Structure 1
Amino acid sequence: MSARKEHLRRRREKLVVQAAAQCNEMSSIAADLQSTFRWVDRGFAVGQVLRSHPALAVAAGSLLMRVSRSHWLVRVGQVFTAWELLSIVRKRWTRI
């Protein structure tokens, strides 16, 4: 019996150390994700404002038209990419 208790005690200590290491790793990952998702939240909020106020969307589009042609194409690509990312986030957000 004593050998079994000793084995269980060592195993428990090992698991406690593993759990502490995993907890530290998860907290560092969560901190990184929190700063990343802050930008996603801001982008989502901007999307909601533009959706609620179409005049702002038109104004933003007209500002993009004022930028030179090469910059305009880059901006359109960036907006399209942001829109795709926003769509993905919205789909996942509704599942939560």
Structure 2
Amino acid sequence: MTGHEPLPLAETASLGALLAEGLGTIHEAGLLHRDLKPQNILLAEYGPKVIDFGLAVLAERRSVLTATGRPWRCASRTPPPSLTAATG
């Protein structure tokens, strides 16, 4: 890529398929990325590369840091009333 123009449809579909294959491989290894977004996908010479596994966890992990419907907050940067309301 030389500019910021949209990719042709066929190339976009191919990149999407390669990304799905890569995520499948990541999941087969027992990892959950937990922060997949465009900024964490690089377009390399041979296809997309998933980067930044800083929030990744093992899929079999027993403890839970986040859950659907439960907001994640950094205690040092959250007003105390919000923390009290979030924890009940």
TM-score by length of structure 1 reads 0.26
TM-score, length of structure 2 as denominator length = 0.29
Q: Which has the larger radius of gyration?
A: 1
Kindly indicate whether structure 1 or structure 2 has the higher relative contact order, using CA contacts under 8 Å at least 6 residues apart. Answer: 2
Richer in strand (by share): 2
